Chain A
Amino acid sequence: MNVGAADMTLLAMALPFVAAGLAPYLVRLMGHRAAWVLALAPLSIFIHFIPYAGLVANGRHVTAGFDWVPSLDTRFEWFVDGLSLTFAFLVTGIGTLIVLYSGGYMKGHPQQGRFLSFILLFMGSMLGLVLSDDFLMLFVFWELTSVTSFLLIGFDHEREASRRAALQALVVTGAGGLGLLAGLLLIWNVTGVHSLSGLLQSNEVLRQSPYFLVALILVLCGAFTKSAQFPLHFWLPNAMEAPTPVSAYLHSATMVKAGVFLLMRLNPVFADTPAWHTILPIFGGMTLVFGALLSVRQSDLKQMLAYTTMSSLGLMVMMTGFGGEHAVAGAVLYLVAHALFKGALFMVAGIVDHEAGTREVTKLGGLLRAMPVTFAAALAAAVSMGGLPPAVGFLAKEEIYSSLWHLDPWSLTFLACAVIGNALMMAVGFVVALKPFLGKRPHALGDVHEAPFIMWVGPATLGALGIVAAIAAPFTHEIVSSPMVSAVLGRASEIDITLVPHIGPPLALSGLTIVVGIVTYLAIAPFRRAVGGVLRAIGWGPDRGFDQFVRGLVRFSHAVTDRLQPGSLEVYMTVTFVAIAAALLVPMVVFGELPSMPTWPTDVTFYELTVMAIGIIGLVAVLIAHDRLTAIVSLGVQGFAVALLFMLFGAPDLSFTQFMIEALSVVILALVMTRLRLAPSDHRPTGEKLSDAAIAIACGAGFMLYLMRVTEGSFDATLSDFFARYSKTIAHGHNIVNVIIVDFRGTDTLGEISVVMVTGLAILALIRIRATRTDVELGDNDPREQHDPREEGSHGKRTYAGVEAE
């Protein structure tokens, strides 16, 4: 491909995000008709990718990109082959219809702009995910789909159920995403390859590595959570709290297939290993059967479809892992078929809900006359879902059965899973597609109309495509299925199945499936009761387990916090100072680094001694002071003495700062004292005084010994010389200290002043919290209405932040 095409692909990948930014404004401007404009974004991406189909059909693939984070070896590189191209078509094609559908479904909703924005954000993330070549890029887009899914599920954020479902989906898929990240990094470490296309070419290194199984399991964590495999499936049915366009798009047609996409993408790397061919079919098979059974139990249209989605995902995982050309072909065909029919059925469910006001299948019926187009779309989709000719679902099912048809227990088990699952899904599909439309119309429904064009165009197109794709099977295979199967297998492969009946075991199995499906359809009500009864008897499920897990986590963190943060300032201070003393003293003692006793200098001048004496007097005054204010001021005296010493030893800057700091700390400490209304004097019992004194002495001695030890060593003057030499020539300043602060180490200072500012804000916030908590307003300390704060302190009896007031 030439440069122009690569640039266009990058633009195409960015377009959904741009459209997402514009969506709210467009909706404000044009109302729900903005959807027509916004749908142009995915449509143009779809058109952009059409020329790639010819390339990919010839067995070629396209990679291009640029360095993204060179220091991490990360590239922004896309990889277009049969697999990613099909996904790109699904994401943008169904995306176009979904944007239109959302325009009608959410018409008049005050947040429609935001909704369309989220949908487009998701579209961009999903498109990025399927086109990613680089590991980290894949991970970023993978998590972006989780985040946007969170936003969409929780769209109706005023309802607790939505919030819970959103959080649950985020926790489960986010955790899985972290597993995936770990797996990818492990693979990167083992193979030295950090792109999917690179990995596909050098899979032997990974297979022979002892970390193979760990890497596989970590990657499966990501895939299984995203694709809702049992027992991590529970977030998917709950995600139906989202508005229906979301369920149709994310939670059936695209996002949940990201896991399957990943498995298919990595199939050439992991295939033909025992772990791959054991884990995938077992989890997939369980998900298939459980999902199908659970779907029968539901009576809400969306819930039924949600569980069959789970079931279908299980089928795809099972077939991908089962291995072999036909199995993969079956998985691929089923994936495409599923995206078409499930998207359509969800949109139908949404239309029924929108027009009739309920999704409860037991309360629906007889809508055929009112909604003929919707019914036609639903019927076409259900035919595909049931695996009946002439729909593409039929082709998928034939491939699946022919690949599973081996007379050994292993294959027969999964064959049984597939037949049961397909039969139940067929029954559920027809319940969704037929029950609301046929039969007698309940009076409660009132007047129901056909949905507007903008809403039925989506399901009608998808339903029709499911049929057309099967009738034009050779064409479908040439541009979609065969390149995709080749990509998944890692070698060229052709699919040739058509609607022409081929007598054999698969056709017989199809017949069996249809019979079981019809029986289930007819007996759906007793079946629903039976499965419901069994589930009630079991009682516990992973969904409830999630709640218990979250509650346990909260309780655990409460316990830990209570222990680590008792809220008593005394404890914090004690721990801090003991830690300081230990950090200073223990290494010196352990490593025998204690300083030797210094000789008493003979050239101490009289005034130096005087200043030291002042400092010591200040300290003694602190110790014997009767009230706190005196102690604080005395501490200031000691500080000033130190500042004088700095001055005497030629550090005017330091001394200057020390003076200011001392003055301000005395003022601020005194002010804090008056606010806290502590008792004016110290009432600690003797034992506590002794232990506090011991800690203080240990800290002081530690610092003293440490400084003595440091100054004993030879002084490395490299830095001082550098600064002295270049302070004037480079930084044009004579004052080295200041030059270091604002120029040589300016970035440090920038960090420091940020900290100063944030600390200040935190202090203000703390003081304000107190002000609101006690429900008193801050007043002005006008001196005319003043009285001595110490009077207050003496009878102040309150506790703040754990500081015990006497």
Chain B
Amino acid sequence: MMRTLIFRTVAPYLTSLMLVFSVFVLLRGHNAPGGGFIGGLIAASAFAIYGIACGVSPVRRALRLHPTTIAGIGLLLGSVAGLISLFDGVPFMTGLWIYPHFFGVEVPLATVMLFDFGVYLVVTGTITAIALVLEEREGE
């Protein structure tokens, strides 16, 4: 859609920056503004921008998986995160926490985080799928 050289040159960098930022937003979500939903929207925008700038096929190639598959994996992760708590004898979707140490630093991990990651993937996958299909144009 865009034929400007500047945009096409900048787009890959912009996309990668946005993707990194989206993961950052996802991870900080628990304590500061952010979270899986917003992160997912940012990631989807990143792919949409790349698609607009350089065409849809490169995006699809780079993604490797079909965007809907990504969304499906996200939904699976979300459900699994909810189901894990059942094995601990607590109700569905109860958050469970573990505190492993990596290089001497305590890193809190939780099923909640897994769930948020699922949300991130669902939003990313779905919106990207829609955006990419819309960006594709009917062959003449």
- What DSSP secondary structure best describes chain B's contact surface? helix
A664-B44, A664-B48 known; A780 and B56 CB under 8 Å?
Answer: yes
CB pair A671 B3 closer than 8 Å: no
CB pair A671 B138 closer than 8 Å: no
CB pair B31 A735 closer than 8 Å: yes
Minimum Cβ distance to chain B for residue A738 (Å)? 4
**Which A714-758 residues have C-beta < 8 A from chain B?**
731-735, 737-739, 741-743, 746-747, 749-750, 753-754, 756-757
Is A767 in the interface zone, CB < 8 Å from B? yes
CB pair B34 A738 closer than 8 Å: yes
CB pair A668 B82 closer than 8 Å: no
CB pair A746 B37 closer than 8 Å: no
Q: With A and B bound together, what is the CA distance between A210 and B51 in angstroms?
A: 71
Is A542 in the interface zone, CB < 8 Å from B? no
CB pair B127 A661 closer than 8 Å: no
Can you name the residue of chain B whose Cβ is closest to the Cβ of A667? B48
Can you name the residue of chain A whose Cβ is closest to the Cβ of B95? A743
Q: With A and B bound together, what is the CA distance between A658 and B21 in angstroms?
A: 17
Chain B positions 43 through 59: 1 when the CB is less than 8 Å from some CB of chain A, otherwise 0: 01100100111111100
CB pair B122 A753 closer than 8 Å: yes
Q: Which of B25, B34, B57 has the most CB of A within 10 A?
A: B34
Is A764 in the interface zone, CB < 8 Å from B? yes
CB pair A664 B45 closer than 8 Å: yes
Minimum Cβ distance to chain B for residue A309 (Å)? 50
CB pair B82 A782 closer than 8 Å: no
Is A663 in the interface zone, CB < 8 Å from B? yes
Is B92 in the interface zone, CB < 8 Å from A? yes
Question: Of B8, B29, B137, which one neighbours A781 at CB under 8 angstroms?
Answer: B137
**Which B1-26 residues have C-beta < 8 A from chain A?**
1-3, 8, 25
CB pair A783 B74 closer than 8 Å: no
CB pair A737 B35 closer than 8 Å: yes
Chain B positions 97 through 130: 1 when the CB is less than 8 Å from some CB of chain A, otherwise 0: 1000000000010101001101100110111011
Is A275 in the interface zone, CB < 8 Å from B? no
Given the complex, which residues of A lie within 8 Å of B8, measured CB to CB? 783
A735-B29, A760-B71, A778-B138 known; A741 and B37 CB under 8 Å?
Answer: yes
How many pairs of A and B residues are in contact by the CB < 8 Å rule? 174
CB pair A781 B118 closer than 8 Å: no
A660-B42, A734-B31, A774-B138 known; A781 and B55 CB under 8 Å?
Answer: yes
Is A596 in the interface zone, CB < 8 Å from B? no
Minimum Cβ distance to chain B for residue A767 (Å)? 5
CB pair A660 B32 closer than 8 Å: no
Q: Which of B2, B71, B75, B138 has the most CB of A within 10 A?
A: B138
CB pair A671 B135 closer than 8 Å: yes
Is A691 in the interface zone, CB < 8 Å from B? no
CB pair B41 A664 closer than 8 Å: yes
Q: With A and B bound together, what is the CA distance between A664 and B35 in angstroms?
A: 17
Given the complex, which residues of B lie within 8 Å of A783, measured CB to CB? 1-3, 8, 53-55
Is A779 in the interface zone, CB < 8 Å from B? yes
Given the complex, which residues of A lie within 8 Å of B140, measured CB to CB? 776, 779
Is A553 in the interface zone, CB < 8 Å from B? no
Can you name the residue of chain A whose Cβ is closest to the Cβ of B66? A764
Q: With A and B bound together, what is the CA distance between A741 and B119 in angstroms?
A: 10
Is A771 in the interface zone, CB < 8 Å from B? yes
Can you name the residue of chain B whose Cβ is closest to the Cβ of A749? B119
Can you name the residue of chain B whose Cβ is closest to the Cβ of A672? B134
Given the complex, which residues of A lie within 8 Å of B89, measured CB to CB? none
A753-B78, A782-B55 known; A656 and B34 CB under 8 Å?
Answer: yes
CB pair A753 B119 closer than 8 Å: yes
Q: With A and B bound together, what is the CA distance between A424 and B100 in angstroms?
A: 85
A675-B134, A783-B54 known; A652 and B93 CB under 8 Å?
Answer: no
Minimum Cβ distance to chain A for residue B81 (Å)? 8
Q: With A and B bound together, what is the CA distance between A660 and B129 in angstroms?
A: 17
Q: With A and B bound together, what is the CA distance between A652 and B31 in angstroms?
A: 12
Chain B positions 64 through 94: 1 when the CB is less than 8 Å from some CB of chain A, otherwise 0: 0000100110110011001000000000110
A741-B35, A753-B119 known; A732 and B108 CB under 8 Å?
Answer: yes
Q: With A and B bound together, what is the CA distance between A753 and B119 in angstroms?
A: 6
A735-B33, A757-B126, A760-B129 known; A778 and B136 CB under 8 Å?
Answer: yes
Q: With A and B bound together, what is the CA distance between A739 and B79 in angstroms?
A: 17
Q: With A and B bound together, what is the CA distance between A776 and B54 in angstroms?
A: 22
Is B133 in the interface zone, CB < 8 Å from A? yes
A residues touching B (Cβ–Cβ < 8 Å)? 652-653, 656-657, 660-661, 663-664, 667-668, 671-672, 674-675, 731-735, 737-739, 741-743, 746-747, 749-750, 753-754, 756-757, 759-761, 763-764, 767-768, 771, 774, 776-783, 786, 789
- 8 A–B contacts from the bound complex (CB under 8 Å): A653-B38, A663-B45, A667-B45, A672-B134, A735-B30, A741-B119, A757-B74, A783-B53
